[in-house]
Amino acid sequence: MNATGQKTTGDSATGVTVVWAVVGSDIGPLLLAATDDGLVNVVFHASPTVRDAAVERLRARLGTEPVEAPGSPLLAEPIRQLKAYFAGERRDFALPLDWSLIAGFNRQVLRELAAGVPYGSVVGYGDLAGRVGQPGAAQAVGMAMGANPLPVVVPCHRVVESDGGIGGFGGGLETKRQLLALEGVLPQPLF
């Protein structure tokens, strides 16, 4: 139990605490997971099957049992900021992030994306590769976007094809269109 009386997970071998909750959003249910270091995972379309698979991946990757804790202080601010984002009241996230699910080139690219591509703008895969000193690595940037454990907060939806195409998206193209429309990059869908 923590100071607020909530059960948390703290594997004595790893010392890692992982809490999670599913929250509603304009793009469907999102699973949010956090550790003591910050938000560690955002998962789209968090149906029971997707949720169970995501929790199992967290267990395997972080070496501890994630605990469903929608009232956890570790999730309060991420939930608040995501609600404000979807309400059009927030353009930037100011959250501690736990980058432990991603490493190497992928982490470098995602950190650059988070810091350097603001709300309401887009960047090409090749341009983002150039920003991290790998101008020929557009395809690798695409792979990094697909591996992003923190979509929306680390805005992989803002990465598009250089020819003006929308590109791919792990949450589905309709979700990418909705996020870009929310940010004013694309027109709102008619229905």
Q: Are 99 and 41 in contact (CB under 8 A)?
A: no
- How many helices (H) and strands (E) in the chain? 6, 6
Residue type, 107: R
Q: Any idea what the Cα angle at residue 120 is, between residues 180 and 39, rounded to 5°?
A: 75
Which of 158, 90, 151 is closest to 118 using CA atoms? 158
- 137 to 6, 12, 54, 143: CA distances (angstroms): 45, 41, 29, 10
Residue of 58, 79, 156, 159 marked active site: 156
Is position 94 annotated as part of the catalytic site?
A: no
Positions marked active-site? 156
